[in-house]
């Protein structure tokens, strides 16, 4: 049996519970404007320990609305060069000029010194992306540095549901956190997102912006250049249910990450990235040593029945076709190394001990063969 890169399971209890609630909504004819979106917001804000959570249509929308609310038009936003295209396009669509940051491969995040070197009087915001669920140890320091200068720190927490560092959840370090509930993430409702914040004004502004700029939700008077960024009631039902299981999912993911560390921590030819804090377990990332070709490595591991997961990310932003014009000639050695040499082991709640051992054995075999080829 092949081991897939991704697996999303709704077990019979999940399905029965979700279908029961959705059946009730359909029966009542309430698929918008109901209570599930509000409840989901309350439950999510309580989970991460933020004063507010505002549900939106996607993680991309969450980021874009934070940018619009913070006010980045015609100013600069600093974005790590190794992130999802969504992080970039959110700032771009909010009218910012994006300046890319290099990252440290061991955390996949920019260091404070990368940020201080790139920031200037024009900088409106810095985005930290908790790649794979990892929260950089410099996060609190970066937050303090930004606060002192009146620069908005935005967290892209699309990978980091349940990641905690210094007793603080991802999404609570900066002015606003953006979560995604896309199907591949730690918890999902198909498509959806959430903004978390402790800032009353920001939360109120995002509620206006997600609803076509209306200050009064049901009155057609538009006070801002907002968009339709609302979450549906049906998505919120699935999201609420997933949230009840999030701790369990995250505990399993952490357990499998520990398992990989035990079985592959000393494997020659690959260095596993360790979180150093309770993380979401969204990704289990290893760096192949120079000289080992990733495509060859993945092909050999696939031959042994193991599908490796997608990288975070394979192509850095300055090499994305749509962004080449704006970032031609830029060089980010840390981001390029991280994107170029990483592999992501399969990790999901349903992985299980047996499959974990089979992955580790397949990876160790291919690494050993690679080492033998060298001689």
Ligand X SMILES: *Cc1c(COP(=O)(O)O)cnc(C)c1O
Residues that bind ligand X (CB under 6 A): 58-60, 83-84, 86-87, 129, 156, 158-159, 180, 182, 193
**Would you say 10 or 85 has its CB closer to ligand X?**
85
Work out how close the CB of 59 gets to ligand X at its nearest, in angstroms, rounded to a whole number.
2
Phi, psi for residue 52 in degrees, rounded to 5:
-135, 150
DSSP-derived pairing of the beta strands 52-56 and 193-197: antiparallel
Work out how close the CB of 192 gets to ligand X at its nearest, in angstroms, rounded to a whole number.
7
Checking phi first, is residue 360 left (phi over 0); if not, alpha (psi -120 to 50) or beta?
A: alpha
**Would you say 3 or 312 has its CB closer to ligand X?**
312
- Separation of first and last alpha carbons in the chain: 33
Work out how close the CB of 196 gets to ligand X at its nearest, in angstroms, rounded to a whole number.
14
Tell me which residue has its CB nearest to ligand X: 59
Work out how close the CB of 358 gets to ligand X at its nearest, in angstroms, rounded to a whole number.
27
Work out how close the CB of 159 gets to ligand X at its nearest, in angstroms, rounded to a whole number.
6
**Would you say 80 or 370 has its CB closer to ligand X?**
80
Q: Which of 169, 138, 152, 163 is nearest to 63 (CA)?
A: 152
**Would you say 156 or 311 has its CB closer to ligand X?**
156
**Would you say 111 or 161 has its CB closer to ligand X?**
161
**Would you say 36 or 280 has its CB closer to ligand X?**
280
Work out how close the CB of 91 gets to ligand X at its nearest, in angstroms, rounded to a whole number.
11
Structure tokens at 93: 């669509």
């Amino acid at each position: 049996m092949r081991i897939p890169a991704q697996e999303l399971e709704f077990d019979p209890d999940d399905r029965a519970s979700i279908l029961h609630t959705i059946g009730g909504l359909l029966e009542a004819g309430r698929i918008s404007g109901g209570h599930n979106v509000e409840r989901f917001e309350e439950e999510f804000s309580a989970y991460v320990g933020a004063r507010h959570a505002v549900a939106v249509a996607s993680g991309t929308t969450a980021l874009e609305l934070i940018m619009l609310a913070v006010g980045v038009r015609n100013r600069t936003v600093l974005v790590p060069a190794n992130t999802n295209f969504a992080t970039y396009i959110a700032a771009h669509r909010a009218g910012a000029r994006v300046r890319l940051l290099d990252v440290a491969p061991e955390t996949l995040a920019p260091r404070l010194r990368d940020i201080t070197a790139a920031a200037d009087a024009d900088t409106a915001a810095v985005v930290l992306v908790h790649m794979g669920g990892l929260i950089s140890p410099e996060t609190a320091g970066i937050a303090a540095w930004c606060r002192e200068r009146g620069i908005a720190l935005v967290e892209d927490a699309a990978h980091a549901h349940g990641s905690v560092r210094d007793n603080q959840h991802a999404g609570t370090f900066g002015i606003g956190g953006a979560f995604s509930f896309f199907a591949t993430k730690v918890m999902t409702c198909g498509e959806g997102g959430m903004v978390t914040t402790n800032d009353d004004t920001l939360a109120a502004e995002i509620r206006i912006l997600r609803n076509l700029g209306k200050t009064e939700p049901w009155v057609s008077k538009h006070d801002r250049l907002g968009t339709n960024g609302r979450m549906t009631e049906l998505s919120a039902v699935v999201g609420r249910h997933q949230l009840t299981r999030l701790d369990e999912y995250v505990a399993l993911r952490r357990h499998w990450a520990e398992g990989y560390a035990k079985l592959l921590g000393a494997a020659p030819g690959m260095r596993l990235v360790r979180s150093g804090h309770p993380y979401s377990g969204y990704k289990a990332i290893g760096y192949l040593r120079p000289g080992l070709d990733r495509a060859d490595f993945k092909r050999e591991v696939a031959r042994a029945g193991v599908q490796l997961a997608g990288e975070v990310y394979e192509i850095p932003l300055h090499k994305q076709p749509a962004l080449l014009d704006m970032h031609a000639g830029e060089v980010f050695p840390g981001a390029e190394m991280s994107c170029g040499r990483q592999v992501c082991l399969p990790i999901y709640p349903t992985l299980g001990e047996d499959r974990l051992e089979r992955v580790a054995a397949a990876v160790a075999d291919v690494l050993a063969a690679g080492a033998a080829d060298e001689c």
